Amino acid sequence: VINLRSEIISILDLRDYLGLPISEMDDGTRIMVVNIEKRDLQLVVGLLVDKVEDIIKVDLSDIQVALTTIEKVTAEYIEGEFLSSAIIDVETYYEDRDSEEETLIGIIDVESVLEAEMNSRLVEEKG
């Protein structure tokens, strides 16, 4: 947990939720704070991620259904994919910042990842 502006926030390791091997934290490790509302419950949680390369806006019309070729990540947590020329892989990014190479970006359905946490909070509030 962390204390962010006098609010206690649970931190969840996104790798653990996605069934990926846990990695060591380094200078690139970040906590993404997300706010989710479900059935009159507001949940603020921090997601531990390896790094944040960029933040982009994506039109809903540009999101395609997730391919079945995603093997390393639990498919139930993947909402879709987006083909982007704004975000490129790390090696290309540092070699040539003007590259127009496209990269497939997986979109994680955060609500699905956190559904168990949200349901337990709902039970706590009702109890």
pLDDT for res 101: 58
Pairwise CA distance, residues 30 & 71, whole Å: 24
Phi and psi, residue 5, nearest 5°: 50, 50
Pairwise CA distance, residues 67 & 25, whole Å: 30
Q: Regarding beta strands 63-64 and 78-84, do their DSSP bridges make them parallel or antiparallel, or are they unpaired?
A: antiparallel
pLDDT in tens, the chain (127 residues): 888 889 899 888 878 777 778 888 999 899 988 887 777 777 788 888 888 887 777 787 877 766 554 444 444 444 444 443 333 333 443 444 445 556 666 667 677 667 766 676 667 767 6
Identify residue 25 by its one-letter amino acid code. Answer: M
**Domain boundaries in the chain?**
2-126
pLDDT for res 87: 34
pLDDT for res 61: 80
Residues 56 and 88: beta-carbon distance below 8 Å: no
